[in-house]
Amino acid sequence: MTTPSPTFTDLDVPKLENLVEFPVLIPVKAVSKKQVELADFQSALMEVTVAHFPDFDAALVTIRPSSQGNYHAATLDITFDNIEQVHAIDAALRAHPLVRMVL
């Protein structure tokens, strides 16, 4: 009888809070939904981010269009003080109706 190979869910994956020392700069990536206007996406990202980080500087956001121009990919360079902030901004961005995905 052979032992089954472990699956990905069986692996002991370290948690982010065990891998980094806070405060830490983490680039947060967000992708817009299809055909969202650039200005609307920029505004949505800033609205969500400033709600969690009132002093966030818009210069820390870079946005580029997809190769066919259907989506926008954004990188927000955010300095987090604790893991709760990471989870909060991730959840807020994922919940926004103009955001397709967050990485």
Instruction: Provide the domain limits for residue 71.
Output: 33-102
List the chain residues with pLDDT less than 50: none
pLDDT of amino acid 8: 57
In a domain, 54, yes or no: yes
Task: Give the pairing of strands 99-102 and 24-32.
Answer: antiparallel
In a domain, 26, yes or no: no
Give dist(CA 103, CA 83) in Å, integer.
Answer: 15
In a domain, 85, yes or no: yes
In a domain, 14, yes or no: no
In a domain, 21, yes or no: no
Give dist(CA 68, CA 59) in Å, integer.
Answer: 25
Beta bridge partner(s), residue 30: 74, 102
In a domain, 17, yes or no: no
In a domain, 81, yes or no: yes
Q: How many domains does the chain have?
A: 1
pLDDT of amino acid 13: 66
pLDDT of amino acid 46: 97
